[in-house]
Structure 1
């Protein structure tokens, strides 16, 4: 069949007309190499057994702390809770001011202004305010509502926007609709000063059903201008997993090789302890490379993870575990 689209080689740039129509975008996404599920899971499991040597563990713990988007996304969130979270993000361990700050504090749009003010008051001006938008977590709203949600968060001081894609449209094969929605949200991230909030695009991988869909969603998000691609909202049964994250890291690596554009990755939901965080750092280094081992290009969407990292850090510093009562509980 001479007219059949040929799957692009890993790292190959997208054809220039790939987003010119729904049909062209579908041809490109379905032309991506299929995912070897057995091989992917075996590779993730193998990397997950790697140990971080004792001399590197302290560095890795500090790196993981600096990559955390410290998050509260509950209906019962209050300004007081957000202020406390911001104080913790600025000074994770009040007994050791050498503890690095987290990367960002992630809140709902109506709490973005509170977070911005609290970070300034706590000495965390360098911390970013991340805000979920676009009718998070379900994404079931009109585009006008999603764009208003985004603009409200940016106007309130959000440095980063975590948006959710329309999974229904994606699973129905309406790829251009999803692409155009991401592009519109990206434009809504613009600030009056000429800058723009960074855009993290959430796929909700637990709802995409197949690894092939996760690969397609990754390329779709990157083609549309995502600054980060993110596994999940943390609000469904299956959130971040090592295989899903490995697959997305392969996608950003290949996209960078083919286009020169670097995109970050953020696994979110279910990463609760230091052992798990170390596995993810190994996967990042072995898959995308050392350049991605930075909060500029890799984040953990988490809340309870920080507590365990702090306890492990205190163990390395003092020789004994202080226990959970000696770290603040979110």
Structure 2
């Protein structure tokens, strides 16, 4: 997986903005975007969340959720052994059922990347091909409070160690202060730090930390800004701040991705992360993705779940179907 080059991203931004991406130009553009109807957004999310899916689609939905999960461990107490265990679960989520798909990626701190790569072995690769990516959080995750030099070194080290994807955090303080040019420049610089010596690039997921952005308008502006600066994915949260992912916020981000695609032809990924723990809730996200951007987005290079406990519930529901103990109450309304 690789994203657009820094040059093409900046050139595209200039074409969209009609000028250099400095504070004044970005403020004029971002504040010119129509405001979010919060009541309407939440009502639409609630409506999509109550949609039914056919009983025959439940197994498909569960398998698709697994294939879109970034299995994550991001704790100060992480050890090589814990990362190896995570990789083993990623490769074989249910040892009792060989038909269970692999997850899309394992997500770890940068210093754990070599252990993840080693543990995955031949299973390490593009999740669109049924393999497993290694994602690394970087840029002083989760706070983002560090100098740009440190953020870039953090990113480059993870990429050199074998990370396929970088999950960066934006400087929320700078964004909320209206320093949009600074946020743009940092995302663009991190994008450049994702470049490998052979010219390929790790995919860049830009974490907005929506729980700290306060308003839907800010979420929409931060989404546009992150895409303009070259992000390959926009991601809701670090999972360290409440609220994390919500269906209305994810719907809003999907609308931005849809509008960007209509305007440029470029497809950008979306990753809700944190707080999605049940199969029932995850299916609501699948329905929302299909409705807003289309089913073609339900593949690893365009949509991910940032979750760990979610996998356990999905496996439980698959086992219930296999043993005949499945109940429609575990999901959204049955047709």
In the superposition, the TM-score normalised over structure 2's length comes to: 0.90
Q: Which residue of 1 aligns with 2:59?
A: 58
Q: Which residue of 1 aligns with 2:75?
A: 74
CA contact (8 A) 1:64 1:277 kept: yes
> Matched residues in 2 for 1:212 and 1:56: separation?
35
Q: Which one of 161, 169, 173 corresponds to residue 174 of structure 2?
A: 169
Change (3 A) 1:19 1:206: farther
Moved over 4 A (4+): none
Q: Which one of 247, 252, 271 corresponds to residue 257 of structure 2?
A: 252
Q: Which residue of 2 aligns with 1:224?
A: 229
> Matched residues in 2 for 1:59 and 1:18: separation?
46
Alignment length (residue pairs): 308
Change (3 A) 1:189 1:224: same
Deviation for aligned residue 1:320: 3.2
Which secondary structure does the structure 2 equivalent of 1:15 belong to? helix
Deviation for aligned residue 1:14: 6.2
Q: Which residue of 2 aligns with 1:187?
A: 192
- Pairing of 1:194-213 with structure 2 (within 5 A): 194-213=199-218
- Pairing of 1:280-319 with structure 2 (within 5 A): 280-319=285-324
> Matched residues in 1 for 2:220 and 2:198: separation?
35
Deviation for aligned residue 1:52: 2.0
Deviation for aligned residue 1:139: 0.3
> Matched residues in 2 for 1:181 and 1:249: separation?
23
Q: Which residue of 1 aligns with 2:113?
A: 112
More helix by share: 2
> Matched residues in 1 for 2:19 and 2:253: separation?
20
Q: Which residue of 2 aligns with 1:49?
A: 50
Q: Which residue of 1 aligns with 2:332?
A: none
CA contact (8 A) 1:206 1:238 kept: yes
Q: Which residue of 2 aligns with 1:17?
A: 18
Structure 2: tracts of 5 or more residues without a match: 1-13, 126-130, 327-335
CA contact (8 A) 2:117 2:124 kept: no
The CA deviation string for residues 234-265 of structure 1, in whole angstroms up to 9 with x for no partner, is: 00121000000000000000000001111000
Which secondary structure does the structure 2 equivalent of 1:201 belong to? strand
2:185 counterpart of 1:154: no
Q: Which residue of 2 aligns with 1:27?
A: 28
CA contact (8 A) 2:124 2:134 kept: no
Deviation for aligned residue 1:99: 0.6
Q: Which residue of 2 aligns with 1:326?
A: none
- Pairing of 1:116-155 with structure 2 (within 5 A): 116-120=117-121, 123-125=123-125, 126-155=131-160
Q: Which residue of 2 aligns with 1:278?
A: 283
The CA deviation string for residues 130-152 of structure 1, in whole angstroms up to 9 with x for no partner, is: 00000000000000000000001
The CA deviation string for residues 177-216 of structure 1, in whole angstroms up to 9 with x for no partner, is: 0000000000000111211100000000000010000000
Deviation for aligned residue 1:83: 0.2
CA contact (8 A) 1:91 1:99 kept: yes
Q: Once superposed, what is the RMSD of the aligned Cα atoms?
A: 1.3
Deviation for aligned residue 1:80: 0.5
User: Could you say which structure has the greater relative contact order, defined with CA pairs below 8 angstroms and 6 or more residues apart?
Assistant: 2
2:248 counterpart of 1:243: yes
> Matched residues in 2 for 1:187 and 1:210: separation?
30
Deviation for aligned residue 1:18: 4.4
> Matched residues in 1 for 2:278 and 2:169: separation?
26
